[in-house]
Amino acid sequence: MKADSYRFDGSGKCRLDKLATNSKADGIDKEKILAMTAENLQKMAALQDAFYADGREGLIFVLQAMDAAGKDSTIKHVMSGLNPQGVQVTSFKQPNSEELKHDFLWRVNKALPARGSIAIFNRSYYEDVLVVQLHDLQKGYQMAPRVLEQDKDEFFAQRYRQIRHYEQYLYENSYRVVKIFLHVSKNEQKKRFLERIDNPAKNWKFSASDLAERAYFDDYQRLYEQVIDATAAKEAPWYALPADQKWYTRYLVSEIVVDALEHTSHNYPVLSTEAQQNLQDCRTRLEAENS
Ligand code: AMP
Ligand code: MG
């Protein structure tokens, strides 16, 4: 699949400046892509139905990106192909005071899906090694000196390890974690910010702090590379997808979701002979009604 060219599973290094933020390099036709996206949404619905009935594996999609890269709209459009009964979306904001009193995975555990369900994380525990690391937020945490007084690199190296182990733990508990970074260019982000300022229906999406973060755009790119390299694994891959054209991003995400569902248990439970006999007995009783 096309998305494979943007996949990182730990075997190669992620260099964002070498990766496209649009579809030009892939030489594709927009009309075809739109049709293929629609097809994928249908496949997704059919697969999810069986995945839900099967109930032996859980799926977690992590979406990370700079502001205005399209996380919300990707969720809105791509996930429209899924039955809401088996999906839950969690948006991870700045931790509140109760969350800050706990370890950083505490709030994540509460958002884990039951097996047979899909969780979509709009931002995630990756913020704890991204925004936290960039702004040294850990310095303000209530933690023991032995934790906070160590070298900063050591502190975050530990977090990378904890994340790898957490995702491995989930895999060994019959979950799959798929991580998606929406790779938007600085230029496109500017366009989208201007659109949010100019369009009253989008004003609410913009805050002055988005501009403050934009000033760190290049630092974030380097940090994302580091985080992707440190946490990409065969069983918990990263995808760094071009995000300057929403129609293309949606297509690639739809491919990834279909692929994840295809690789996950999705067999309708087969009844035992006894249970099947039971069904037939029920049929006979139903047919005997009013006759
Ligand atoms: P938004 O996704 O635009 O609604 O913004 C949510 C904000 O919460 C972003 O600026 C994130 O960087 C921030 N955020 C999410 N998780 C954390 C975290 N663990 N620590 C600090 N800030 C966070
Ligand atoms: Mg925002």
CATH code of the domain in which 267 resides:
3.40.50.300
Q: Using CA atoms, how far apart are residues 112 and 171, in angstroms rounded to an integer?
A: 13
pLDDT of residue 84: 94
Each residue of 145-184: b (16+ CB within 10 Å) or e?
eeeeeeeeeebbeebeebbbebbeebbeeebbbbbbbbbb
Query: What is the model's pLDDT at position 79?
Result: 86
Q: How many domains does the chain have?
A: 1
The Cα 60–Cα 87 span in angstroms is 10
Cα 33 from chain centre: 21
Residue length of the chain: 291
Expressed as residue numbers, the domain containing 44 is 2-290
- Torsion 150-151-156-162 (CA) sign: negative
| Ligand sitting nearest the alpha carbon of 138 | 1
What pLDDT is attached to residue 80?
87
The pLDDT value given to residue 8: 98
244 C-alpha to center of ligand 2: Å?
A: 17
CA 205 – ligand 2 centroid, Å? 6
Question: Would the CB of 81 count as within 6 Å of ligand 1?
Answer: no
pLDDT in tens, the chain (291 residues): 999 999 999 999 999 999 999 998 888 899 999 999 999 999 999 999 999 999 999 999 999 999 999 999 999 999 888 999 999 999 999 999 999 999 999 999 999 999 999 999 999 999 999 999 999 999 999 999 999 999 999 999 999 999 999 999 999 999 999 999 999 999 999 999 999 999 999 999 999 999 999 999 999 999 999 999 999 999 999 999 999 999 999 999 999 999 999 999 999 999 999 999 999 999 999 999 986
CA of 288 to the centre of ligand 2 (A): 61
Confirm or reject: Cβ of 94 under 6 Å from ligand 1.
yes
Distance CA 200, CA 210 (A): 17
From 123, 136, 193, 219, the mutation candidate for ligand 1 (largest count of ligand atoms within 8 A of CB) is 123
Q: Which of 92, 159, 163 to mutate to test the pocket of ligand 1 (most atoms within 8 A of CB)?
A: 92
Phi-psi region of 261 (alpha: psi -120 to 50; beta: other; left: phi over 0): alpha
Taking alpha carbons only, the member of 279, 258, 287 closest to residue 81 is 258
CA proximity to 237, closest of 104, 61, 40: 61
- Environment of ion ligand 2 (residues, CB < 5 A): 67
User: Of all protein residues, whose CA lies closest to atom 7 belonging to ligand 1?
Assistant: 93
Atom of ligand 1 nearest to the CA of 128: 19
The helix (H) or strand (E) run that includes residue 59 is strand 58-65
Q: Which ligand is nearest to the CA of 133?
A: 1
| pLDDT, position 201 | 95
* Cα–Cα distances in angstroms (integers) from residue 176 to residues 39, 104, 172, 186, 274, in the given order: 24, 20, 9, 31, 33
CA atoms within 13 A on the CB side of 34: 6
127 lines ligand 1 (CB under 6 A): yes
66 lines ligand 1 (CB under 6 A): no
Kindly state if the Cβ of 126 falls inside 6 Å of ligand 1.
no
Give the pLDDT of residue 96: 97
State the pLDDT at residue 2: 93
